[in-house]
Amino acid sequence: TAVTNDVIGGLLNAMRDEDEDVRRRASEVLGGMGEKAVTNEVINDLLNAMRDEYWFTRQHACEVIGELGEQVARIEVSVSLINAMRDKSKGVRDSAWKALEKMGEIAGTDEVIDAVLNAIHDQDWE
């Protein structure tokens, strides 16, 4: 509906805000909207948030992707989660693992499994 599109548009703008808290809260609301919020633009903004300079924003983006689960299951999302498994923040790494678990069948592809095995091998366990 038009209202939902306007709300999503406003939240997408908020995800590009200079203030980290605004970006994080916008992603939280988008995650709470469920499948209504699953658009290519929302997914792209969540993937961008996973590269944010602030670890908490990166972690929260992973958590939102996990909440959306199979609804956002795409190779590029899985690859971004795998990259997040190498983040210097343990919270981001843990959230990425949990989100990938919720991706469903896409997480079982050879490409994703190979990348996960490489991430495990490269993981700094200290």
Neighbours of 71 (CB within 10 A): 16
pLDDT band at 126 (very low <50, low <70, confident <90, very high): very low
Task: Catalogue the E-assigned strands of the chain.
Answer: none
Number of domains composing the chain: 1
Q: Band of the pLDDT at 124, cuts 50, 70, 90?
A: low
Q: How much is the average pLDDT of 95-99?
A: 93
* Contact in structure between 54 and 48 (CB atoms under 8 Å): no
Mean pLDDT taken over the chain: 85
Sign of CA dihedral 46, 83, 119, 89: negative
What is the pLDDT, as a whole number, of residue 125?
Answer: 47
Please state the pTM of the whole predicted model. 0.80
Stretch among 22-26, 89-93, 113-117, 120-124 having the lowest mean pLDDT: 120-124
What CATH number does residue 25 fall under? 1.25.10.10
In this prediction, residue 108 has a pLDDT band, given cuts at 50, 70 and 90, of: confident
Read off the pLDDT band of 35 (50, 70, 90): confident
Per-residue pLDDT reduced to its tens digit, 37-93? 888 888 999 999 999 999 999 999 999 999 888 888 888 898 899 899 889 999 999
> What residue numbers bound the domain in which 41 lies?
2-122
**CA-wise closest residue to 64 among 19, 17, 30:** 30
pLDDT the model gives residue 121: 67
